[in-house]
Structure 1
Amino acid sequence: MELLIVRHGQSEADLLGVHEGRADFPLTKLGEQQAIVMSTYVAEHFPPDLILASPLLRAKSTAETLQKFVGCDLLLEKDLMEFNNGVLAGLSREEARVKYPLPPSGRPIHIPIELGESALEFRFRAEKIFHQILLDYQSYNRVAIVSHGGLISHFINAFLKQPNTSEYEFATGDTGIHLLDIKENKRIIKFLNRQEHLKRC
Structure 2
Amino acid sequence: MQIALVRHGQTDWNLDLRMQGTSDIPLNDTGRAQALEAAVLLADDRWDAIVSSTLSRAAVTADIIAERLGMEVLERDPRLVERAYGEVEGLTKAEATERFGTAWPGEESYEALQRRAVAAVDAVAERHAVDHLVIVTHGTFIRAFADATTGLETRTPRNAESIRFEGAPGAWTPVEGVVLV
- Assess same fold via TM > 0.5: yes
Q: For 2:133, give the aligned amino acid.
A: V
What is the rounded CA distance, in whole Å, between the counterparts of 1:173 and 1:64 in structure 2? 19
3-state DSSP of counterpart to 1:72: coil
Give per-residue Cα distances to partners, 1:105-134, cap 9 Å, x unaligned.
xx5xxxxx4234222211110121132133
Residue 128 of structure 1: aligned partner:
119
- Alignment of structure 1 residues 126-165 onto 2, 5 Å: 126-138=117-129, 140-160=130-150, 162=151
Deviation at 1:58, TM superposition (A): 1.3
Give how far 1:187 is off.
4.8
Q: Which runs of 5+ in 1 are unaligned?
A: 108-112, 195-201
> How far apart are 1:158 and its partner, in Å?
3.8
- Which amino acid in the other structure matches residue 36 of structure 2? I
Aligned residue for 2:47?
A: 48
Shift of 1:188: 4.3
- The whole-number CA distance in structure 1 between the counterparts of 2:160 and 2:119 is 23
Deviation readout 1:37-80 (Å, 9 max, x if unpaired): 2112212x123211111111211111010111113231111111
Go from structure 1 to structure 2 and tell me whether the alpha carbon gap of 1:190 and 1:119 turns closer, same or farther (over 3 Å shift): closer
Contact 1:4 1:48 in 2 (8 A): no
d(CA) in 2 for partners of 1:128, 1:67: 24
**Letter of the structure 1 residue corresponding to residue 146 of structure 2:** I
Q: How far apart are the structure 1 equivalents of 2:148 and 2:45?
A: 22
Partners of 2:97 and 2:172 in 1: how far apart?
40
1:37 match: 37
Alignment RMSD (CA, Å): 2.3
Q: Percent identity?
A: 24
The corresponding residue for 2:153 is 168
CA deviation map 1:74-96 (0-9, x unaligned): 11111111111111111233432
Q: What residue in structure 2 maps to residue 22 of structure 1?
A: 22
Q: TM-score, normalised by structure 1?
A: 0.78
What's 2:8 paired with? 8
Unaligned 5+ runs, structure 2: none
- 8 A Cα contact 1:9 1:32, kept in partner: yes
Cα distance in 1 for residues equivalent to 2:93 and 2:125: 37
Match of 2:92 in 1: 92
Distance 1:136-1:10 versus aligned 2 partners, 3 A rule: same
| SS of residue paired to 1:146 | strand
- Counterpart-to-counterpart distance in 2, 1:187 and 1:114: 33
Matching residue's letter, 2:4: L
Quick check: 2:55–2:81 contact (8 Å CA) kept in 1? yes
Match of 2:116, SS? helix
Query: Taking structure 2 as the reference length, what is the TM-score of the superposition?
Result: 0.86
Aligned partner letter, 2:126: L
